[in-house]
Amino acid sequence: MTAALAPQPHFTDFAPAAARPARPLSPEVYRRRRLAVVALVLGLVLGLASFGRSADATLTPESQAVDAVLVVVQPGDTLWSIAETLAPGSDPRPIVSELREIAGPGYLQPGQLLRVPGSLVE
């Protein structure tokens, strides 16, 4: 008695869609795809252009009022050197006294953050 073997599936029966022959697309499909790409590019260009204009509008000198300046103490900094950096050309003594209150008691430590009010900065 001979047994009949069932035919084994061929590996091309399970080929992915990319390996199968593609059917040709109509000119309408190409037209719609081109229109979609043009609309996408135009939207990106207009969006970036309007974003740039709105960012420039917020950087006018009138709107640049500084509430506070964050100063990171560097090695070798003193209250006096920080005051001279914040307000060059002016008397640093009032700024040093304000910085003394902001920094608190003790020495300045490198990496220490000082939140200096904008009214002290020129």
Q: Sketch out the chain's domains with CATH numbers.
A: 66-120 (3.10.350.10)
Which positions ≥6 away from 70 have C-beta within 8 Å? 113, 114, 115, 116
pLDDT band with cut points at 50, 70 and 90 for residue 59: very low
The pLDDT value given to residue 28: 86
Provide the H-helix boundaries in the chain: 27-57, 79-86, 93-103
Read off the pLDDT of residues 2-13 as tens digits, 9 standing for 90 and up: 666 666 655 555
The pLDDT value given to residue 47: 75
User: 111 or 42: which carries more pLDDT confidence?
Assistant: 111
**Model-level pTM?**
0.46
